[in-house]
Amino acid sequence: MKTTSLLPAICISAMLLTGLFYQQGIGLNLLIFDTLFIIWLFITKQIKLQTANQIISVSGFLVTSIFTVVTYSIYAYVIHFLALFVFVGMLNYNQARSFITALAIAFVSILSSQAAFVQEIYSRKIHKNAFGKLLWKSRIFLVPVLIITVFVSIYSFSNNVFGSMVGDVGLFIQNGFIFVFERLNFSLIFTFIFCSFSSVFLIIRSKNTTLAQQDAGANEQFMRHAKKNKRYFRLTALKSEYKAGAFLLLVLNALILIANTLDIYWVWFNFEWVGQTLKQFVHEGTYLLILSILISIALVLYFFRGNLNFYKRNKFLKLLSYIWLGQNAVLAISVMIRNYWYIEYFALAYKRIGVLIFLTLTVYGLYTVLIKIRDKKSAFYLFRTNAIAVFVALVLTSAVPWDSLIAQFNFAHANQSYLHLEYLSKLSDKTLPALDRSAFEMTPIETFQKETFDIDHDDMTYGEYRIKINTRTASFKEKWEAKNILSWNLPEYLAYKSFAK
**Dihedral angle over CA of 69, 74, 76, 79, nearest 10:** 140
pTM value is: 0.84
Same domain, 143 and 48: yes
The number of residues in the chain equals: 501
* pLDDT of 42: 92
Q: Where among 172, 192, 220 does a domain terminate?
A: 220
* pLDDT of 439: 86
Query: Taking a C-beta distance cutoff of 8 angstroms, is the pair 104, 69 a contact?
Result: no
* pLDDT of 454: 73
pLDDT digits (tens, 9 = 90+) for 419-440: 999 999 999 999 999 999 988 8
Query: Taking a C-beta distance cutoff of 8 angstroms, is the pair 57, 99 a contact?
Result: yes
Q: How many Å apart are CA 483 and CA 427, to the nearest integer?
A: 20
Q: What is the DSSP string of 290-335?
A: HHHHHHHHHHHHHHTSSGGGG-TT-HHHHHHHHHHHHHHHHHHHHH
* pLDDT of 292: 80
pLDDT band at 172 (very low <50, low <70, confident <90, very high): low
pLDDT exceeds 50 at position 135:
yes
Query: Does the residue 389 lie in any domain?
Result: no
Same domain, 251 and 194: no
Q: How many other C-beta atoms can be found within 10 angstroms of the C-beta atom of residue 16?
A: 17
Average pLDDT over every residue of 291-297:
81
* pLDDT of 16: 95
* pLDDT of 179: 62
Same domain, 72 and 140: yes
pLDDT digits (tens, 9 = 90+) for 31-60: 999 999 999 999 999 998 889 999 999 999
pLDDT band at 277 (very low <50, low <70, confident <90, very high): low
Query: Does the residue 387 lie in any domain?
Result: no
Query: Taking a C-beta distance cutoff of 8 angstroms, is the pair 166, 152 a contact?
Result: yes
Same domain, 235 and 211: no
pLDDT exceeds 90 at position 302:
no
Q: How many other C-beta atoms can be found within 10 angstroms of the C-beta atom of residue 337?
A: 16
Query: Does the residue 455 lie in any domain?
Result: yes
Q: How many other C-beta atoms can be found within 10 angstroms of the C-beta atom of residue 132?
A: 14
Average pLDDT over every residue of 109-132:
74
Domains: count for the chain: 3
* pLDDT of 224: 62
Q: Where among 201, 220, 239 does a domain terminate?
A: 220
Q: How many other C-beta atoms can be found within 10 angstroms of the C-beta atom of residue 60?
A: 25
Same domain, 242 and 215: no
* pLDDT of 243: 79
* pLDDT of 231: 47
* pLDDT of 189: 87
**Dihedral angle over CA of 292, 293, 296, 297, nearest 10:** -150
DSSP designation for 51: S
Same domain, 10 and 133: yes
Query: Does the residue 261 lie in any domain?
Result: yes
Query: Does the residue 395 lie in any domain?
Result: no
Same domain, 297 and 355: yes
Same domain, 201 and 348: no
Which domain, by its residues, includes 297?
Answer: 231-377
* pLDDT of 307: 62
C-alpha distances in angstroms, 308 versus 57, 233, 317, 341? 36, 14, 10, 42
Which of 67-76, 277-286, 365-374 is least confident? 277-286
Query: Does the residue 188 lie in any domain?
Result: yes
Average pLDDT, the chain: 84
Secondary-structure percent of the chain, ordered helix, strand, coil, rounded to 5: 80, 0, 20
Give the gyration radius of the chain's Cα atoms: 32
* pLDDT of 376: 83
pLDDT exceeds 60 at position 98:
yes
Q: Where among 198, 220, 242 does a domain terminate?
A: 220
Same domain, 48 and 76: yes
Which of 4-18, 161-175, 233-247, 340-354 is least confident? 161-175
